[in-house]
Amino acid sequence: MMDGILAEKRNENDRFFLFVVDNYFKDKDLAKRVPAKPEDVIKFIDVDPHEPTTEQIDTLRDEVLSTKGLPAGVIGIGGGSIMDIAKAISLMFTNEGSSTLYQGLNLIKKPGIYHLGVPTISGTGAEVSMTAVLTGPVKKLGLKCEWTVFNQVILDPELIASVPVDKWLYTGMDTYIHCIESENGILNNAYSHAYAEQSLKLCREIFLDENAGQTAENDDKLMVASMMGGLSLTYSEVGVCHALSYGLSKILGEKHCYANCLAFQHLEDYYPEGVAEFKQMLVKHKVKLPQGISNSWTDEQITAMAQVAYNLPHMWNHAIGTDWKEKISIDLIKDLYKRM
């Protein structure tokens, strides 16, 4: 299928494709199924040590431009981090300078090159969202604009069938949290609500009801739930959990979906029903989150995380309201981290 889609794009620019593939697949069958031609470039990227960085994107872009030229397109095959790398590098092939210059809303000046997303784990919504989240020297913030969105996406539920249960749950919970946060805030609207409502219904079927679990039918549903959760937040906003999660990722290097779960379990003050249901889902699948981890953090680390979280005003504005600065302080956020 992918071969046919790519054939009509292949003659653009310097007539080769850049494939960015999760290193996990390097010695697996999936890698052999990548329809690369001899002139194409395949980069296997290890996403385990950290989330995508601005430096990583700039280096890869400069290397490909100086050795091969401008690709006809970029194909990302992997999880949320690979989706973000493919989206970001597509934009950075046509926008000059470092990607740190473009972290924020509508700072990108030109459309990127063609990019195709093939998710192999579902939940982050990165396959449909209009942001490519990157960690830079100063901030963790997305390249967000209309051109960030993939030109095409291939959703094949067979690709997510072998995800280990804990990763399956953490990544799926990212979708669940997207919906809870999108719904609970001032930017929620009929459009974002319709997507969140449907995505939440699917999440309950996948993670909670009697037929919950990693079945082929639920894998189909999870791909759709992830997409709808991503669309819901695109037209609304995320909230308190994602703000705290960004602090955990930026300062401690925690992966996005796991960091969300670490934070969300303690946010019953903000999302009482969502947190209760989330805990039921963890119990159902016998996944335990660590407790008391903040005991090993220094006050400097907690302060630094609180500052990262506080500097995401769009999230607080949505979750708390336009007067959020009267209700949320660095000290209050530090106390939320100390609950973990």
d(CA 187, CA 275): 21
12 vs 166, which CB is nearer to Fe ion? 166
From 11-19, 147-155, 170-178, 297-305, span contacting Fe ion (CB under 5 A): 170-178
18 vs 243, which CB is nearer to Fe ion? 243
> Nearest distance from residue 124's CB to Fe ion, in Å?
6
- 127 interacts with Fe ion by CB under 5 A: no
174 vs 219, which CB is nearer to Fe ion? 174
From 56-64, 135-143, 168-176, 274-282, span contacting Fe ion (CB under 5 A): 168-176
> Nearest distance from residue 260's CB to Fe ion, in Å?
6
61 vs 256, which CB is nearer to Fe ion? 256
With CB under 5 A as the contact rule, the residue among 40, 84, 127, 174 that binds Fe ion is 174
56 vs 171, which CB is nearer to Fe ion? 171
Positive/negative CA dihedral, 302, 304, 305, 310: positive
- 58 interacts with Fe ion by CB under 5 A: no
Largest CA distance in the chain: 59
127 vs 174, which CB is nearer to Fe ion? 174
Contact call for residues 153 and 117 (beta carbons, < 8 A): yes
9 vs 140, which CB is nearer to Fe ion? 140
- 254 interacts with Fe ion by CB under 5 A: no
> Nearest distance from residue 188's CB to Fe ion, in Å?
17
Strand duo 17-22 + 114-119: pairing:
unpaired
From 68-76, 172-180, 268-276, 279-287, span contacting Fe ion (CB under 5 A): 172-180
From 105-113, 171-179, 194-202, 278-286, span contacting Fe ion (CB under 5 A): 171-179
> Nearest distance from residue 88's CB to Fe ion, in Å?
16
51 vs 174, which CB is nearer to Fe ion? 174
From 174-182, 246-254, 272-280, 329-337, span contacting Fe ion (CB under 5 A): 174-182
- Residues 65-84 contacting Fe ion, CB under 5 A: none
- Helix then strand count (H, E) for the chain reads 14, 8
> Nearest distance from residue 28's CB to Fe ion, in Å?
26
> Nearest distance from residue 148's CB to Fe ion, in Å?
15
Q: Kindly list the residues in this chain that would bind Fe ion in the complex (CB under 5 A).
A: 174
